[in-house]
Amino acid sequence: MVATHHYLILAAALFTIGVIGVLTRRNILVILMSIELMMNAVNINLIAFSNHLQQVTGQIFAIFVITVAAAEAAVGLGIVIAMFKNKETMNINEIDLMKW
């Protein structure tokens, strides 16, 4: 049996990589992928604690996180397509209509 803190460290690493991806990349598709990475890190944490405490609640929460991730991906990619039709770009620096 693997100790729980192994999973927590793995999840922290994945979450850090996701945050760095969101903050540094300019391609909006890669940013959405980084968000998926962060959600996966959260799921690992939830299921690690579900295993640690032998309660199934964490897995239920992980199912809801996956549901929200699916909804987020569908709406996010819809926005990307609509944005691309208007501005012909995937670069977030050129989407500056509401920038102050």
Partner 1 sequence: MLELTLFYIFATVAIVSAILVIIQKNVVHSAVFLAATLLSVAGIFLTLHAEFLAGVQVIVYVGGILVLFVFVIMLIALERSLFERQYNRQWLIALATAGILIVEFGWILFRGKDSFVLPPAVAQTALPGAVGNSQQVGTALYLNYLLPFEIASILLLVAIVGAVVLAKRKTQAE
Indicate whether 47 belongs to the interface with partner 1 (CB under 8 A). yes
Question: Does the footprint of partner 1 cover residue 95 (CB under 8 A)?
Answer: no
Tell me the C-alpha distance between 43 and 11, whole Å.
Answer: 8
Q: Considering CB under 8 A, how many residues would be counted as binding partner 1?
A: 71
CB of 11 to partner 1, least distance (A): 9
Could you say whether residue 87 binds partner 1 (CB under 8 A)? Answer: no
Site for partner 1 in 11-30 (CB under 8 A): 12-21, 23-27, 29-30
CB of 100 to partner 1, least distance (A): 14
Cβ closer to partner 1: 47 or 97?
47
What's the token pair of residue 88? 């012909």
User: Which among 52, 43, 72, 70 has a CA at the least distance from the CA of 1?
Assistant: 52
The crossing angle, in degrees rounded to 10, of helices 28-53 and 4-24 is 170
Q: Residue 54 interacts with partner 1 (CB under 8 A)?
A: yes
Nearest-angstrom CA–CA distance, 6 and 77: 33
If binding is defined by CB under 8 A, does position 33 make contact with partner 1? yes
Nearest to 76 by CA among 64, 65, 84, 88: 84
